[in-house]
Amino acid sequence: MKKFITPSLLKFAVSVAALTIIFRLFLDYGVDIQSKIIISLSAIIYFIVMLALGFYFGYKDGQFLPIYDVGFRFHLTTYIVFISISELWYFLGFREENSIHKTALIWVIFLFLHFLLFLIMRKKSFKGLHKEELFD
The pLDDT tens digits of the residues spanning 67-117 come to: 666 688 899 999 999 999 998 988 888 776 678 889 899 999 999 998 888
The mean of the pLDDT values for the chain is 84
Alpha helices in the chain (DSSP H): 7-32, 36-64, 72-91, 100-121, 131-134
pLDDT at 78: 94
Mean pLDDT of all residues in 9-19 = 95
pLDDT at 62: 73
Domains of the chain, residue spans: 7-134
- The closest of 115, 91, 112, 86 to 19, measured between CA atoms, is 86
